[in-house]
Amino acid sequence: MLLTVYSREYCHLCHDMVAALEAIQPRFGFQLEIVDVDEDESLETRYGELVPVLVAAGEQLCHYHLDLAAVEAYFAKCM
């Protein structure tokens, strides 16, 4: 299972979300991909000021802060 965080290098909320995801990674066993939206104009346009944005299989789970309930619901639905 792959979770993607659309982020920016200088974004403290992005760093916080990645740290929170890394803390729960052993529990759920997902792979984590971090994509810098500033490296792709279409991603910057799409996500802009919403970063960080957490996406799983094309479904946006949350933005700004990790929504643990949304992540748990996503994994419950997938199992």
- DSSP state at residue 10: T
Superfamily of domain 2-78: Glutaredoxin (3.40.30.10)
Q: Which two tokens stand for residue 61?
A: 């789970």
Taking the mean position of all CA atoms in its chain, how far away is CA 11? 13
Q: What is the pLDDT along the chain (79 residues), one digit of tens a residue?
A: 999 999 999 999 999 999 999 999 999 999 999 999 999 999 999 999 999 999 999 999 999 999 999 999 999 998 7
* Residue ranges covered by each domain of the chain: 2-78
Q: What's the whole-model pTM score?
A: 0.95
C-alpha–C-alpha distance, residues 50 and 70, integer Å = 17
Q: What is the pLDDT of residue 19?
A: 98
